[in-house]
Copies of this chain bind each other. A is one copy, B any other.
Amino acid sequence: MAPAIRYFEDFHAGQVIGVGTVAVSEEDIIAFARQYDPQPMHVDPAAAANTIYGGLIASGWHTVSLFMRMLVENLVAKTVSLGSPGVDELRWPLPVRPKDRLSGQMEVLETRVSSSRPTMGIVRWRGEVRNQDGQLVMSLLGTNFFGCRPA
C-alpha cells in the first residue's frame, strides 16, 4: 500500500507536526564543520574548551541541516513539494553539543494558494528544534511551496 501523499490542501494553520529525532555525535559535528564551518569551536575540542562556549558545539548550519533531513524524511517526502524561496528569523538560542538528542517540529502558521501559479499553495510555518532537556536550540520561520490536489 503506497503511503498517503499530502497536498497543499492537507496543511492548516495551527497544525503541529513532529518530524522526529536525531542523535548528534562529536564525530558528526567535526565532520560537518571541517567541510563547511571550520571554526575552532566546531572542529577542535581542545580549542573549543577555551572559547566562551566551554567546549565543542555544532555549527548552526549543521543543526539546520539535520532539521532539514528530519523534515524531508518525515514530512516533505510524503508531499508534493515544490521547494522554498527562503527562511526568516533563523535563531540558535543555545549551543548543540556532542551526545545531544534533537527533536524537531513544525507548526503551520498560514496557508494560501499562489496568485501567480494557482496549482501551487504556499505554506508559512515555524520550525523548532529542542534538545533532550526540552531546551530550544534552533527556531526559524519557513515558507514552502506544495502542489494542490488534482481536481
Contact = CB atoms under 8 A, between A and B. Distances in A.
A12 interface: no
A81 B48 CA distance: 12
Interface string A55-84: 000011100111011001100110001111
Interface residues of A, number: 34
Interface stretch (A36-44, A96-104, A105-113): A36-44
List the number of copies, as a whole number: 2
Given A81-B39, A88-B90, A61 B60 contact: no
B69 A65 contact: no
B77 A38 contact: yes
20 contacts: A35-B65, A36-B66, A37-B68, A39-B72, A39-B76, A39-B77, A51-B82, A52-B82, A52-B83, A59-B68, A60-B84, A61-B61, A61-B68, A84-B92, A86-B89, A86-B90, A87-B90, A88-B88, A88-B89, A88-B90
